[in-house]
Every structure is written in C-alpha cells, then in structure tokens.
Structure 1
Amino acid sequence: MPWQNNNGGNGGPWGSGDGNGPRNPWGNGPQRPGGPSGGGGGGKGGPDFDEFIRRSQERLRGLPGGGGGKAPWLYILLAVLGVWVVFTSFYRVDAQERGVVMRFGKYVETTGPGMHFKLPAPIDTVVKPKVEQVSTIDIGSADASSENLMLTGDQNIIDIAYTVRWKIKDPEQFLFQFAEPEETIREVAESAMRAEISAATLNAAIGPQRAQIAEQVRVRSQELLDSYRAGVDVLGVDIKQADPPAAVDAAFKDVSAAQQNAQGYLNQARAYSQQLIAQAQGEAAAFDAVYAQYRLAPEVTRKRMYLETMENVLAKVDKTVIEANGVTPYLPLPEVQRRARAATTAAADANSNQ
C-alpha cells in the first residue's frame, strides 16, 4: 500500500514503520480472518475504510423506510414536492374578484371568477383585487375637526368636505400603473374640486349649484384618471359640507338670515300685489257684464243700479221707502218691530224669575 514504509511497516501518516508511533484516528478495528487489517503488511494495521463504509450502510438500513441502500429522504422530498405543486398550481377567484397572474413578477393574464390553473409558486403568483367593491375616500371633515379651505370665483373662502366613490375598472392598470392608486385618486379629486370651486361664487357653491359642481368634479376626475391609465371608475362625488370658514360663520349666518327675511317680505308683497290685481280684474269683468246688459236695456238697468245703490246707502237707516200710489209714504215699521222685541224679552225675563 502507499502508506507502507520501506521496511514493510504499516504506519502511514498516523504511525511509524516500527509500530511504535501514534494510533490512527479510527483505532484498530476487528481483524479479518487471515491477517491484520490494512492488507498483507505486518503490525497493528492502519485505517479500515471498508469496515467504516459497511457500518454506515448498516445504520442507514436501520432507519424507517431504509433498505437496499436507498436514502428515505428521497421519498420524503418527492412527496413534499408533489404537495407543493398541487397546492400552488390551482387557485380560485370569487365573483367580485379578478385574478391577475404574474410570472416572475411580470404580468401574464387576468382571469375571471372560477377555478384556474397556473405554474407552481414561486414561478407564478396571483393577486385578486376586488373589482366589484365600491370604495370611498373622504376629503375634508364635516364635523368641524379640520378645515378644507378653497377659494371661490368671487374671492371668498369656503370650507368644503366631500366623499369620492370609486371602484376598480381595469385590474392590470390599477395594480401596475401607480404605486399608491388611492392617493392618486384623492389628489385628482381634490384638484378637480378646486378647479370647479374657483369658477363658482360663494353663494352658488353653498346653495343652488352644489349638485352641479359635484357632477362636474366627477366628470373631470374621470377624465384625468383615464389619461393617467389608472384603471379606476369614479362612480360619484357627494358634497357633505359647503360652509364659510368657522371664523366668519356666525356673521355669514346673520347675513343669510337678513337676506331670507328680505326675500320673505318680497314674496309677501308679490302675493298682495297678485291679490289686488285679481280683485281689480274681477271687478272690471263684472262692470263689463253690467255694461253689456245696460246696452241691451238702458232704462231697466239704470233703475236697477239706482235701487241697488240706494239699498246699500240706506241699509242702516230707520226708514222704509215705498214708491206706490195710494200708500202712506211713511210707516213706523222699525219702531213697531223694536217694541215687539222688547215685549218678548220682558216676558221671558219674568218667566225666568218665577
């Protein structure tokens, strides 16, 4: 052997040729039949590699699943690999979701609801954004905890709070076009609102044009987001508050109350004017009707008008006018009626006293 010295000894690098050197690191194994280990040389023998390999094989055969020299961890590795492939190759997409498949981080396809197959992870990964979910972004505060001040077209300041409702329109653009899509939507909506408020007066923004401004903000925001390829559908903008700043809110309310009172007085004046006009028109129509009858029979109509006028004038006078031949021109009929009523009242009092 190469470790034998010239004297035929069995020392090698762990022992001297005469057998008196240091022991080898494996010790002296059992001797084979027919001579010491390590070949045909004499002495106490060097390291026995065959014996070491034989003992290692016996230990492997003693493990569970061992046999025939095959390591059991090979089967365990294959089983784990199979489970990993099965559980990472199939995925399910819900009705309100879309499956965005990426291969090594690069977009591959978008899948609809249902079960789908892909390459096992980490080759393919799936992100499932909820495309049917309506999300909201609140800008400003309606509870006076903070102010969102904007400048109107007539150089006034308004404190406005509103909510933007949106949902995902294109999952690919929504996931890959912007790092923070919600922050982009907020900034676009605020920019659109400032542009619309700057073109309106304070009174219009507070009152009659609130709905119109909200719709214009929605349209402008959608146009900007589409130009950015954000993959977002803006469903609506709801203005929750549009008031002057808190510092001048009390004075503004006083001015608004005075304007409302003035408008109330104007409405009352218009109503009274309409009433007088209607009354005059009615009297004119009645006069026209009388005039038409007068043209048909002037004498009879003239006498009738005279008698009706005298009746109105003498209604409260204690006189009775009778125009007839052979009749006494004056009869004290009212006096007779008063005496009769007085007698009836006295009789009633006397009966009650009894």
Structure 2
Amino acid sequence: MAWNEPGGDDKDPWSDKGKDQGPPDLDEVVKNLQKKMGGLFGGKGGGRTPGGKGAAGSGKLVIALVIIVILVLLGIKGFYIVQPAERAVVQRLGAFHSVTTPGPHFLIPLIDTKTIINVDQVNKFGHRAQMLTKDENIVDVTLTVQFRIQDAANFLFQDADPVKTIYSAVESALREVTGKSTLDEIITQNRSAVAAMVKQNTQELLNTYKTGLVVTNVNIQDANPPEEVKEAFDDATRAMADKERVQNQADAYANDIVPRARGAAARQVEDAKAYAFKVVSEAQGETKRFLALLGEYQKAPEVTRERLYLDTMQQVLADTGKVLLDVKEGSNTLTYLPLDKLVQPGSTRTPVPAAQLPGYESLEAESASRKLKDARDRRQEVQRDRERARRNR
C-alpha cells in the first residue's frame, strides 16, 4: 500500500530517519564530518564496522593519488623555457622578483607570474617634423628610428609607456640638434653627423627615464628647405656635386701626373749622378795620364813634345775633311780652292787630285799672272832704290 493511500497512516518512506524535517543543525553536520574524516584517516571515530580497515586503506590511496596529480599539474604549470632572444620577468605575489635568462626555469604556480620579453627584436618607426635651424631657416626633416628592448625589468616597471617616451625623446633630440645646425649642414654637408647626434641625445633621454630601450640606428631619409627656396637649394646641391666631381678628377689627375713627374725627376737625378761620375772618372783618368806624361816629358822633352803634337794632329785631322794637292817641286803656283763648297762640316770625301778639281786651270792662270805682276813690282822697286842711293851720294 502506498504511503499516501487511505490507511497508510500518512507516513512517507523517509519518516524513520527523523521526525524533524527542518534544516539540519550546523553543529551536527560538523560533528558528522569530523567522524567521517577520522574514519577515513584511521582515527578512533565511532561507528566503525568490521570492514573499516579496508575503507581507511582505500581512502589513503585516493588521497595520495590526488596529491600526486596536483603536484604533477603544478609542475607542468610552473615549468617554462625562455628562448635565446627572450628574457622572462618573474613577479612574486605581484612584486618584481627576478629576470631569467634563456633556458629552462620553474616558478611557483599561483604565487609567481612571468612576462616574456623579446630583447632581440628590432622595432622601427618614422618621424617627420619641421624644425627651426641655427641660421633661422625652416627645414622639413623625415627620419626613421630603430630600437629594441635592452632592460626587460625597466621596460615593464619604470615607465608607464616606453614607446610613447621614445617618440617624445626623438622629437626633443631632433629639435635640439637642428637648432644647433645650419640649413646647409642638415641638407647637404653634415647629414650623417646630425643623425648621430640625434641618436646620442635620444639615448641619453631614454637612460634618464629608465625606459629599458636602446636606439640602434637613426637615419635621416629626407631633409628639404621650404618650397619657396627649394629651387635655389637644389642648385646649391648640384654645385656641391659638381665640386666633388671636379675635385675627384683633379685628385685622379694628380695621382697620375705626380708619380710620373717624380719618376722623371728621379731619372734625371740618376742621369746627373751618372754624368758626374763619368766626368770625374774621365778627369781623374786625364790627370793620371798627364802625370804619367810629365815624367816622360822631364826625361825627354823634345821627343815627348813631338809625340804629343803628332797625337793631337791625329785626333784633330781624323774628324775633319781634307783636300790633298799634288804640287810639283819648285812650282810657285798659288792655288785657290773654294774650300767652303768642297768640304762640308761632318762630311767625308775621297781625296781628289787638285788638277781634277773644277776651275783648276783658271786658278792656275790667275796665279801665273799674279806672279808676273809681283815680279814687275819688285823690279821697279829695285830701280827706285838704286836712284835714291845715287841721289844720296
């Protein structure tokens, strides 16, 4: 018969567990829990059955397994590896603890936290601004900045927004350097030096604010004057390029001509030294020869003089042209020869008899008439002398 049917005495199946159907007493619940836990760990709790030992052993095994599983999960969660290009910033209970280097590491789960930072990645951004130069001109500068994280801890904790800070630092450094430079230096002459100064000043500002960032490169991509004077500055730029080109050509010419001139000078110096050595050697030889002849001359002056005369005539006549005349003995014929036409300087001719020379007959007749005239003149002179002598008596 069901409990809710007539005659069932209105008793539900759970009525034997207690008549009080209200909420359980808290103290009773705690006591019951303590009893169960005591029986689970083998304590002296009440209500143990003959099979209590088996229940206690199985409970210990379950707890051990649970502890092992928890430890394994904690170990898996706490183990991490830092890559070569990274650094891990560890916080313990929210406060900075350490920075770990590349390799395997372990942290305490739920207590320690980590933040992985890539310190080798190079970041890049561009910046463009109009600045006032030292000579009170306006220049439009476009540059690119490359940077990376150097100190991971400072990057996370020392500055609220390091990237925004580096933007402001670059603008401040560019304004300072531009204000100390002229327009020509920024546009044409000294652009690389301006970029280096911007990099240095930016890094000093980043170090002051402890941003943990390092600037790796600053490159000025473009620097132009205002549009009103851009054409004039373009002309100046072309003139500077022409100047450099001409200078390079002059340097190339100098590099070519100077070594050759030095070589020619060295060759002339060597020739002069050789000539001087030759002249000195010849002079010394002549001196020795003269001293040797002096001894011979002192022994036999006439013979030595005759020999010197013959040697000298041999040397002189060896290089000169000669005309040989076949003159008969006792002949008083005066021979006239056009030597300037017969003998040219430096020419060598075969000796020719005088009778075969052109004009020889006319020359001989002229010579005979001249001799006859001379004889008449001498005869008349003798007669005049005789007359003077008679008068003087």
With structure 1 as the length reference, what TM-score do the two structures score? 0.51
Give the secondary structure class of the aligned counterpart of 2:221: strand
Match of 1:201 in 2: 182
Larger radius of gyration: 2
Match of 1:191 among 172, 177, 184: 172
Match of 1:151 in 2: 132
Give the secondary structure class of the aligned counterpart of 1:115: strand
Structure number with the higher helix fraction is 2
1:135 correspondence with 2:123: yes
Give the secondary structure class of the aligned counterpart of 1:119: coil
Map Cα deviations across residues 194-218 of structure 1 (whole Å, 9 max, x no partner). 1000111111111111111111111
Give the secondary structure class of the aligned counterpart of 2:173: helix
Deviation of the 1:95 alpha carbon? 0.5
For the 8 Å contact 2:225–2:233, the answer to whether it is kept is no
Task: State the distance in 1 between where 2:178 and 2:239 align.
Answer: 27
Bigger drift between 176-185 and 73-82 goes to 73-82
1:243 correspondence with 2:224: yes
Task: State the distance in 2 between where 1:266 and 1:229 align.
Answer: 44
For 1:93, the aligned partner's letter is: V
Deviation of the 1:267 alpha carbon? 9.5
Match of 1:181 in 2: 162
For the 8 Å contact 2:173–2:202, the answer to whether it is kept is yes
Q: Which runs of 5+ in 1 are unaligned?
A: 1-18, 30-36, 40-44, 54-66, 141-147, 283-323, 328-354
For the 8 Å contact 2:87–2:117, the answer to whether it is kept is yes
Give the secondary structure class of the aligned counterpart of 1:129: strand
Deviation of the 1:235 alpha carbon? 1.8
Task: State the distance in 2 between where 1:184 and 1:166 align.
Answer: 12
1:253 correspondence with 2:242: no
Match of 2:74 among 78, 85, 91: 85
For the 8 Å contact 1:152–1:201, the answer to whether it is kept is yes
Match of 2:105 in 1: 116
Task: State the distance in 1 between where 2:244 and 2:111 align.
Answer: 77
1:102 correspondence with 2:102: no
Q: 1:187 to 1:244 in 2, by over 3 A?
A: same
Q: 1:211 to 1:84 in 2, by over 3 A?
A: same
For the 8 Å contact 2:159–2:209, the answer to whether it is kept is no
Deviation of the 1:137 alpha carbon? 2.4
Deviation of the 1:78 alpha carbon? 5.1
Give the secondary structure class of the aligned counterpart of 1:99: strand
For 2:207, the aligned partner's letter is: D
For the 8 Å contact 2:140–2:224, the answer to whether it is kept is yes
Deviation of the 1:84 alpha carbon? 3.3
For 1:252, the aligned partner's letter is: K
For 2:118, the aligned partner's letter is: K
Deviation of the 1:258 alpha carbon? 6.3
Task: State the distance in 1 between where 2:105 and 2:245 align.
Answer: 70
Give the secondary structure class of the aligned counterpart of 2:118: coil
Deviation of the 1:241 alpha carbon? 1.0
For 1:130, the aligned partner's letter is: N
Deviation of the 1:261 alpha carbon? 5.4
- List 4+ stretches of structure 1 deviating above 6 A: 72-77, 265-268, 324-327
Task: State the distance in 2 between where 1:220 and 1:168 align.
Answer: 18
Deviation of the 1:158 alpha carbon? 1.1
1:212 correspondence with 2:193: yes
Bigger drift between 161-170 and 203-212 goes to 161-170
1:1-354 equivalent positions in 2, closer than 5 A: 27-29=12-14, 38=16, 46=19, 81-120=70-109, 122-140=110-128, 148-245=129-226, 247-248=227-228, 251-257=229-235, 260=238
Deviation of the 1:136 alpha carbon? 1.8
Match of 1:305 in 2: none
Count of matched residue positions in the alignment of Structure 1 and Structure 2? 219
Q: 1:99 to 1:38 in 2, by over 3 A?
A: closer
For the 8 Å contact 1:28–1:46, the answer to whether it is kept is no
For the 8 Å contact 2:130–2:141, the answer to whether it is kept is yes
Deviation of the 1:193 alpha carbon? 0.8
Deviation of the 1:253 alpha carbon? 2.2
Give the secondary structure class of the aligned counterpart of 1:98: strand
Q: 1:74 to 1:164 in 2, by over 3 A?
A: same
For the 8 Å contact 2:80–2:105, the answer to whether it is kept is yes
Deviation of the 1:266 alpha carbon? 12
Task: State the distance in 2 between where 1:262 and 1:232 align.
Answer: 38
Deviation of the 1:48 alpha carbon? 9.2
Q: 1:238 to 1:73 in 2, by over 3 A?
A: farther
Task: State the distance in 2 between where 1:253 and 1:195 align.
Answer: 27
Map Cα deviations across residues 5-57 of structure 1 (whole Å, 9 max, x no partner). xxxxxxxxxxxxxx999x57xx245xxxxxxx659xxxxx94799xxx9xxxx
Task: State the distance in 2 between where 1:153 and 1:90 align.
Answer: 58
Task: State the distance in 2 between where 1:197 and 1:125 align.
Answer: 45
Deviation of the 1:239 alpha carbon? 0.8
Match of 1:344 in 2: none
Give the secondary structure class of the aligned counterpart of 1:109: strand
For 1:134, the aligned partner's letter is: V
Deviation of the 1:169 alpha carbon? 1.9
